[in-house]
Structures are given as C-alpha cells and as structure tokens.
C-alpha cells in the first residue's frame, strides 16, 4: 500500500477510465461535490480519460450527480446490479436477485425486527415508513413506497435488498447468519457500517466497471478505481490502479495502491490532479 506523498501511479499514462464511488468518496460530508473536484474531473476528461460513477445508490439518486458533472458514460449503480446510460436510459448491464432468495432475506429480517429496503423500478419498497427509512431516503434522495407485508411481493426479483441496523455488532452477526444460508447464492456486502446489502452474485462494482470498460474496449489495467468502503473492494481489486480515501477503515486501505486525503478534504481532487500531472 502506498500513501499520500509517495511516488504513485506508475502506469498513469495507461489509464483511460476512472470509476469513482459517491458517498464517502467523491461527496463531502454534506453530500456535495466540491468545486475543486469538479475542476479535477474536467481536467481528467480533457486528457481523454473517461469518468463514471460507481455507487450503491439507485440510478435515480446517482443521476443528478452525473448530470451536475456532465458525465456521459454509463453509470454503475446498485453496487453494479444496474449499469445504465444517464442520457438515453440504455441499460448496459443488469442483474436481479432471485425472487425466492429475496424472500429468504425478507423473512430473516422480519424475524430480527430489522428495517429492510426492497428495490424495484428505482423505488424503495418498505413494509412501514420508519424513522430509519425516512433517514435513509433523506440522505440518499430515495423514493419510498410503503407497501405492507413484503412477503406479498415474492413474485418480484429486486435489484438489491438492504437491511439497516445502527448496532454494527448485531448487523455483523445477522450478516454471518445470512451467509450461512444464502452466502453461496448472493453477494453480501456492507456499503456503510449500518447498511448490509444483498445482491446477485454478479452484481458487484467490479462487474459494473468491467461492463463499462468492455463497452469502451478497455482492459482492467487501463482503469483507476476510487472508493472507501467494503462494497468497493471488488472494484479496487479489479482496477489497474486502486485508490482508497483517507477516511476509509484500515482494512480497506490495505487494498490500495494509493491512499488519498479524506472525502471532506478533497481526496478525489488530489488524486485526479496527480493523475493528470504524472501522465
């Protein structure tokens, strides 16, 4: 692992695509993109390098940031379960959770009394609009639909499911129980300490980035990935250059070729400026 201040980006001249996570990475703690980050992204694109977003957010929630930045490449959303072009709506890659497996998670969450989000058609279905659900919707600009008993939706295959528990130790224990039952059939990851996500096994950011790279005729070594959390690990392992934010946990930083500043200290801008400089 390299750290800020050391020589970095030995293959900077080969990078043709940068995939950037949103929350905890490109966005500051107020969920804003700084002017410096916007300018750094413009500079990267002027170099002929493509830029896309790779986020656990819904497409509906990610698209405004892509529009703000003027990005035209397909967006990697729902942790890689949906790769979709912002302007045209063309779907490049899509993977849904099996309907039967989704109901296993619905029932397990219900047994534990945990809040569960069920993602269909860019809406979040919830049994009841709780304070946790409302907080999630405010934070991530999500559209909620209160639908009652989610077991009535056993015929639907969601893009993902998300369980919320602010007791991380309890959530981690729940995750282990789920892995023991469906771990071979679902990708289970945490996007934040309180958010446990369940997706198709081929719905990771690595699969999403690969779909965009192939669309552009690129190989993994021509990709730089920037992230901060557990749901970024596969993408960081995939990319030719992996960059982790200073605000990330230490076990995530171990995946990095380079650790930049924190999301609230223009870490993305810093590494993009360095990418341009070292090309």
Q: What is the DSSP string of 38-84?
A: HHHHHHHHHTT-EEEEB-SS-HHHHHHHHHHHT--SEEEEGGGTEEE
Q: Give yes or no: residues 61 and 185 share one domain.
A: no
Q: Give yes or no: residues 121 and 195 share one domain.
A: yes
Q: Give yes or no: residues 115 and 144 share one domain.
A: yes
Q: Give yes or no: residues 91 and 222 share one domain.
A: yes
Report if residue 7 sits inside a domain: no
Residue pLDDT, tens place only, 53-94: 999 999 999 999 999 999 999 999 999 999 999 888 899 999
Q: Which of 199, 215, 236 is the last residue of a domain?
A: 199
Q: Give yes or no: residues 69 and 113 share one domain.
A: no
Indicate the pairing of strand 161-164 with strand 50-53.
Answer: unpaired
Query: Does residue 5 have a pLDDT over 70?
Result: no
Q: Give yes or no: residues 72 and 19 share one domain.
A: yes
pTM, 2 dp: 0.94
Q: Give yes or no: residues 34 and 153 share one domain.
A: no
> Across the chain, which distance is largest between two alpha carbons, in Å?
56
Report if residue 3 sits inside a domain: no
Residue pLDDT, tens place only, 112-152: 999 999 999 999 999 999 888 899 999 999 999 999 999 99
What does DSSP assign to residue 198?
A: E
Q: Which range of residues forms the domain containing residue 169?
A: 99-199
Query: Does residue 29 have a pLDDT over 50?
Result: yes
Q: Give yes or no: residues 86 and 224 share one domain.
A: yes
How many domains does the structure of the chain reveal? 2
- Distance (Å, rounded) from C-alpha 128 to C-alpha 121? 18
Instruction: Kindly list the catalytic residues.
Output: 21
Q: Give yes or no: residues 180 and 104 share one domain.
A: yes
Q: What is the mean pLDDT of residues 96-109?
A: 97
């Amino acid at each position: 692992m390299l750290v800020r201040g050391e020589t970095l980006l030995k293959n900077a001249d080969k990078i043709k695509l940068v995939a950037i996570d949103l929350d905890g990475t490109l966005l500051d703690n107020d969920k804003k993109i700084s002017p410096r980050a916007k300018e750094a992204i413009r500079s990267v694109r002027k170099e002929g390098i493509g830029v896309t977003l790779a986020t656990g957010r819904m497409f509906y929630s990610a698209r405004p940031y892509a529009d703000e930045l003027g990005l035209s490449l397909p967006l990697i959303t729902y942790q890689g379960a949906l790769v979709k072009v912002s302007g045209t709506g063309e779907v490049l890659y899509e993977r849904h959770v099996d309907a039967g497996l989704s109901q296993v998670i619905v029932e397990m969450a219900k047994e534990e009394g945990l809040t569960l989000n069920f993602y269909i058609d860019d809406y979040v279905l919830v049994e009841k609009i709780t304070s946790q659900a409302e907080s999630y919707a405010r934070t991530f600009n999500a559209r909620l639909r209160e639908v009652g008993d989610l077991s009535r939706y056993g015929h639907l295959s969601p893009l993902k499911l998300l369980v919320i528990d602010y007791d991380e130790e309890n959530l981690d224990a729940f995750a282990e129980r789920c892995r023991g039952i469906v771990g071979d059939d679902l990708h289970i990851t945490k996007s934040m300490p309180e958010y446990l996500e369940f997706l198709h096994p081929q719905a990771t950011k690595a699969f999403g980035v690969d779909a965009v790279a192939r669309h552009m005729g690129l190989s993994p070594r021509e990709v730089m990935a920037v992230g901060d959390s557990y749901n970024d690990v596969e993408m960081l392992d995939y990319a030719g250059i992996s960059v982790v934010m200073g605000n990330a946990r230490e076990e995530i930083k171990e995946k990095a070729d380079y650790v930049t500043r924190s999301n609230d200290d223009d870490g993305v801008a810093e590494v993009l400026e360095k990418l341009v400089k070292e090309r």
